[in-house]
Amino acid sequence: MTRLTHWIKRNTEMTLTILSGCLILLGIYLNAHSQGPLVDLSNDMETPLSAVIAFIAAFIVGGHSSAIEGFKELFVERKLTIDLLMFLAAVGASVIGYWMEGALLIFIFSLADSLETMAQAKSRDAISALMRLTPDQARKYQLDGSLSLVATADLRVGDHIQVPRGEAVPIDGELLSAQAVVNESVITGESIPVDKIAGDTIIGGTINDAESFDMTVTVENHDTLFAKIIKMVDDAQSNPTRAGTFIEKFEQKYVLAIIIAVPTFILGAHYLAGWTWLNAFYRGMVLLTVASPCALVASATPATLSAISNGAKNGMIFKGGDVVENIDRLQAIVFDKTGTLTLGHPEVENAFYRVGEDQKMINQVVKAAEFGSTHPIATAITSFLHETDNIQLDKIQDLTGKGFQINHRGDTWKIGKRSFALCSDAITLNEDEMALTQKMEVQGKTVIFVTRNHQFMAYFALADQLKASSVKAIKSLNELGITTVMITGDNQRTAEHIAELVGIQRVYADRLPDEKSHLIEELQEEFEAVGMVGDGINDAPALAVANIGFSMGSGTDIAMETADVVLVNDDLEQIPYSLGLAKNTQKIIKQNVIFSVSMILILILLSLFQTINLPLGVIGHEGSTILVILNGLRLLGYK
């Protein structure tokens, strides 16, 4: 019973529609069995008063909201809509004694409206699902050190909060505890929990997978990642498509034409064709019903909302229905390299030690030198040597832009790039070592050399790692006939190596941010529409210039705000998925438009030749509307 009550509250419009249908069934029963007083409106049919009351009740219950909306749009917004046409057709049918037909028209029209409302509600469930990911309350530390439950919305920057084991993080912040283990699958799609240390960023909605930890709030509740995502989805569903806007404008002109055409038809049928007033008026009501563009109006919106909802459910935020339309036009997609195709930070790929040298000592000296530095290369080497013991060096010099020079136990060590560590003529590499290091550098890897007392000891080769989804995504796009392009500020050698690994067709290297946007403009002269995928501030100009901008969810705020699509999970495979979703959306909208226009024309012809009556006209017209809505809802299940 509780579930039924909840469903009724959530679906009030559909509940009233069902009640209207029940009243029609009651009216049909009373029409057949009632012995009470009769109502005769000179249509050769006498209807029991009790049945008339049931039909009028069905009319009011099912049609009051459409009638109110129709007159509000007419007198307040000065717009003519199909709500007004349906109301006039139902009233007209009732006036000449076709009570059941009038009530049936309102019922099926209400059913179509209710289905469309439920479709929109189902689409907006994507927002509700996102909102439920962050708790409404948080455990906040008070000045005396005690904990108290407060509303998440009341948290302010600088507040200290505790996140218990197994609970969701209520808001974005910075870790205060020494360490934490956080499941970020809701953001990244990666099921393996992430180890965090003090100072790391904690994102609201992620799950604490270990012991409780403390964190500092770094944003207001409305500025969290999830708040931004929710706003983007909400804005997208309020943003009409070009097709939807065109249909809305067409609807007003079409309704005006029908309002003029129907009385003209009735007068012409009576005076020119010799029909009786009753027959002419009845046929006018049939024409008014079947000529209404209900199915055409519903051709685009349910399909587009379903596509937006499908994207949000799969971690892809479209910033409007027009974005879904434009994606279908893409012929080329440009990718930034660092942070888009790659992870955005280097990792040690190879470590080489000259035969006979003390590997343990080399690792200890290198780790001690790099430890504490925030440089990405130092961080990568320290991470690679995480199991190596820490030692104390006698003296260390950090030579900016070159590397480290170390004195330890009477030995002089150098750690850095070739030009620094191998600057002495006394340092030589044998043929194999030279070939290996040159091969690494040709592939675009950063090679860090280690020497002791002018003797080569070892090297560490580092490279930015490809994202797991890069190769599959580029392969899918190439197979779809999309030209794939990479624009990067990196050198040509590194860019070409990455492009070869992932299958990128065109490469433009050594490009500054403003040059990226100019290159997008050049590509737009060659291709109908060009997409851009990026994540950083330097990508924002190119994202703005592109016909469709894709931003990584882990990227900067400005990139997310500039882009048309946000890939929340940073999964590049969502791009070919978005193309498939967009193509299916346009396909379904075209199907709906062709079907609805065909049905309107067929029903009008049948009406003019007096082949169908009002009940069949109602079923054909509103039935086509329901089919169009259901066809659009298929996109909710697109995979």
- The residues annotated as belonging to the active site are 336
| DSSP label of 154 | G
> Which residue(s) pair with 549 in the sheet?
532
C-alpha 418/C-alpha 422 separation (Å) is 5
Q: At 176, give phi and psi (nearest 5°).
A: -95, -35
Specify the 3-state DSSP secondary structure of 334: strand
The torsion of the CA quartet 522, 525, 526, 530, rounded to 10 degrees, works out to 80
Counting every residue written for the chain, the total comes to 639
How many Cα atoms sit within 13 Å of 180 on the Cβ side?
29
How far is residue 137 from each of residues 3, 71, 171, 223, 384, measured CA to CA in Å?
Answer: 26, 44, 10, 17, 40
Specify the 3-state DSSP secondary structure of 337: helix
Q: Look-up: residue for tokens 């590509």? A: 523
For residue 462, what is the enclosing H or E element? Answer: strand 455-466
DSSP character string of 517-558: HHHHHHHHHHSS-EEEEE-SGGGHHHHHHSSEEEEETTS-HH
C-alpha 298/C-alpha 247 separation (Å) is 9
Specify the 3-state DSSP secondary structure of 391: coil
What count of other Cβ atoms lies within 10 Å of the Cβ of residue 442? 12
Question: Which is it for strands 342-353 and 455-466: parallel, antiparallel or unpaired?
Answer: antiparallel
